[in-house]
A and B are shown apart, each in its own frame.
Chain A
């Protein structure tokens, strides 16, 4: 009994699942629905194409991409914890040049928009990345990763200090015309000033959150896990943290928010939307069940029909009025 969804389950035409993530941008960054595959959990998109109908997703964010290819961290890179997952991939990726040469032309043929997640160790790397991705066909938007906990230099610092967030956002915006989503780190004492800095410098949307820094310890094996010594925690364990951060930023910043962290069901999506998210990214839950995102899209349609809501955007931010 295969549990894929048939194409006859497409939403009835009076229901609007479409969301816009860059209202101020010429393209608008319109997604057919608010369900996005999170960076680092969905490769370059094609890996999942045999198992699930990737073209029906709202968007796909590709693996974090750096100026030069990276080999990543030593094994083990993954450790499961209670309702969570610690990863320290260390941004293994093919590098921006190969991405432009080999992946973007494939994406250009797809219906589903692909967003490129970019990560750098210095302001210069971010600038060079933005410049190399300028005008490349097949890319719908950039997602600025200033929040990766798994590389030694740079990276996360840009997501910890509002002044650096502002500089890197402005620098990328100046060199690339694509809509820009800035992905924030939860590993900060107050996320609001950082969100404000990104918004002020022209971010079209904000994504929160990336993983929370954590570690595991293997007592019999006498070792720290993952092998890198720490990792980023994802999965249901981080959902309440992510939900709160979405709520707090939605209160302070008037930009579309993409909620991310521990989402695995339509119920979770409804909660994130109520907190102020216009769309959601789903990561770890695709490992648990590769049909998660497709199931959620179907469940969202059902929910709208059942509750007599015609436009999904009506769900955004409702909790702020309660």
Chain B
């Protein structure tokens, strides 16, 4: 695992916050400190509110970092509105400030030997994989992305995907791209792949796990989700039992080797 970079808390100016599919948003803020040190798979803890109502920050993966724009050091988050915190976040406007703690956790690791990467994204789980894809391309690793959604209008817009990757769109109802679940296409795109990285709902991980034989020796890294309290390893709210002992999702993860996970222990 790559050691975590320095963690900071800051108020960052929001550059934009716009809906990209029904109920999903990309929020960008300026934070050169985070953009400069963050690694794919790391996350930030976002304060969603200003009063006492919501006491916990919400963890969101780092979706993109950008040094080239006018804002020098822009960080983007991709999130779905699923409850009161993310709803509050969706109402933040450019020019307002977002209260951020991060970057946190251990991200995905790509070794010097990696040549071909298969990314498996279920819905909003694409969030950290976008950052990973961009970094992999920089390292001249070939990237195939299996990108799934329920239906065409929920699919992440193709024009926002990083350049130079091979995207494969999959919808459950077949209204765009291939029909079915991303995991139905693992076998098809596996040949030549030396690393699989996945992020999505628990059901997707279980489906990958069920196809473990098919994946043979190919290592699979997954980003786990539990409810977080502190986000920095101090409260033991996020601990899961794994084959290699107790692990804190926020500090030892959120990215783990799939073979480490005891799936019966992971619940949200």
Binding site for B on A (CB under 8 A): 1-4, 40-43, 47-48, 50-51, 63, 71-72, 74-80, 82-85, 87, 89, 92-93, 227, 235-236, 264, 284-291
Contacts and interface: CB of A to CB of B under 8 A. Distances in A.
Nearest to A79: B227
A280 B154 CA distance: 49
Nearest to A227: B267
A289 B57 CA distance: 8
Interface in B234-261: 234-241, 246, 251
B226 A80 contact: no
Contacts of A75: 226-227, 238-240, 265-268
Nearest to A63: B236
Nearest to B226: A75
Given A78-B227, A236-B55, 7 more contacts: A43-B233, A80-B56, A83-B53, A89-B236, A92-B239, A284-B55, A287-B235
B237 A78 contact: yes
Contacts of B266: 75
A89 B101 contact: no
A3 B230 contact: no
Given A75-B265, A82-B53, A51 B101 contact: yes
B236 A1 contact: no
B232 A47 contact: yes
B235 A290 contact: no
B222 to A, nearest CB: 16
Contacts of A50: 6-8
Query: Considering the complex of A and B, which 7 residue pairs feature the smallest CB-CB distances, nearest first?
Result: A43-B234, A47-B234, A236-B52, A78-B237, A92-B236, A75-B267, A78-B227
Q: Please classify how large the interface on chain B is, using the bins under 10, 10 to 19, 20 to 34, 35 or more.
A: 35 or more
B47 interface: yes
A286 B239 contact: no
Nearest to B53: A83
Contacts of B240: 75
A142 B228 CA distance: 28
A92 B238 CA distance: 11
A291 B9 contact: yes
B167 interface: no
B8 A74 contact: no
Contacts of B233: 43, 47
Contacts of A51: 7-9, 101, 232
B180 interface: no
B14 to A, nearest CB: 13
Interface in B176-202: none
Contact of A3 (B9, B33, B232, B267): B9
A110 to B, nearest CB: 16
B10 interface: yes
B162 interface: no
B267 A76 contact: yes
Contact of A78 (B47, B229, B241): B229
Nearest to B246: A71
Nearest to B12: A1
B47 A289 contact: yes
B236 A2 contact: no
Contacts of B232: 47-48, 51, 290
A283 B9 CA distance: 18
Nearest to A89: B236
Given A78-B228, A236-B52, A288-B56, A42 B265 contact: no
B13 to A, nearest CB: 9
B11 interface: yes
A85 B236 contact: no
Given A47-B233, A287-B229, A77 B239 contact: yes
Contacts of B153: none
A1 B237 CA distance: 29
Contacts of A43: 230, 233-236
Given A2-B10, A236-B52, A287 B267 contact: no
Given A76-B267, A77-B237, A92-B236, A85 B55 contact: yes
Nearest to A81: B55
Contact of B11 (A1, A63, A71, A89): A1
B54 interface: yes
B234 A48 contact: yes
Contacts of B226: 75-76
A145 B219 CA distance: 44
B44 to A, nearest CB: 12
B64 to A, nearest CB: 22
A87 B233 CA distance: 15
Contact of B234 (A42, A72, A288): A42
7 contacts: A63-B236, A75-B226, A75-B239, A75-B265, A77-B227, A77-B239, A288-B57
A290 B241 CA distance: 27
Contact of A287 (B33, B230, B265): B230
Nearest to A41: B235
B230 A286 contact: yes
Contacts of A48: 232, 234
Nearest to B97: A1
A149 to B, nearest CB: 15
A289 B100 CA distance: 10
Nearest to A223: B267
Contacts of A82: 53
B53 A85 contact: no
Nearest to A76: B227
B83 to A, nearest CB: 9
